[in-house]
Amino acid sequence: MVDCNPAVSEITFQRDANWKHVMRAGEYSFSSGAVRFETTAGASVSVAAPARFKLVAADRIELASGRLTARMTHLGARLTVKVRDLEVTDLGTAFGIDANDAGRALVSVFDGLVAVKSQLAAGELRLARGESLVHDDVGTPGIEKTSYNTVAFRELWPLTAGIDEASHLVEFLPPGPLLRPLRNYRANDHVFLFPERQAAVVQQPLSVDLSADVHAWPDSPASPYPIMRGERVNTYLVFFQPDSSGRGAVRHLSGEIRSSIA
């Protein structure tokens, strides 16, 4: 028997939502929480409520309203997101779209490159890492580049980079170019987590030292843990830079980060 509507995506994380494990082509909406799903075309997509969208196919989404971020998990992965007449196609990248009911859409590219098409602009526009544009099809219709804007995607930053949960002692920095020099990120009450590279290909075998205190590591493998050439890894920088302007007692910080995807 042939399944006329096969699963095109798999849920990898959901917060305050109760969706089935697999997703098929169709209409979706939710009023609270956030979900992340990985399509059979290789795109990891996160959506924050309130949102309405149509999963047309494994490589195509029509976003009616809401905030969406996406990153490609491997070479050859593909995705096009359509917001009214605006079409955003990945070219090996990570990007975000914030679409409201008033007809305005913000597109920001965290990494790589996207191709943008619209009836409001002639030809195809390329948007690169650290660039944003605004598309408006009401009032004074138009499409224009704007200063790099990531504020709308703050809630989805961790999910985009594969982090499911982080304690309140961890501040997640946005994917893409840093908005200020790394040395200026300072705090006395939390550490910073920055996604360095996503799906990076290991060029030569590596041996990673594992702490004996990491109880959640699957099967408690021996350290050093081998990573073979050709494997893909996500890398993160975790750092603590105290604010030297404040004097006081030595602080001890303890937090946790949990990820469910490689």
CATH number at residue 11: 2.60.120.1440
In this structure, is residue 131 part of a structural domain? yes
Greatest CA separation for the chain: 71
Shared-domain flag, residues 146 and 190: no
Mean pLDDT of 64-72: 94
What pLDDT sits at residue 9? 93
pLDDT value of position 95: 95
Which of 125, 154, 183 finishes a domain?
Answer: 154
pLDDT at residue 107 in the model: 95
165 falls within a domain: yes
The dihedrals phi and psi of 157, each to the nearest 5 degrees, come to: -50, -55
What residues make up the domain containing 85? Answer: 7-154
**Which of residues 138, 154, 170 is at a domain's end?**
154
**CA atoms 246, 252, 257, 262: torsion sign:** positive
Can you give the pLDDT at residue 126? 92
- C-alpha 212/C-alpha 136 separation (Å) is 53
**Domain shared by 114 and 181, yes or no:** no
pTM (two decimals): 0.79
Q: Are residues 106 and 201 in the same domain?
A: no
CA 95 vs. chain centroid, Å, equals 7
Q: Residue 185, Cβ neighbours under 10 Å: how many? A: 17
pLDDT recorded at residue 52: 95
- Residue range 114-147, pLDDT digits in tens: 999 988 777 789 999 999 999 987 666 678 888 8
Mean pLDDT of the chain: 84
DSSP 131: -
The number of folded domains in the chain is: 2
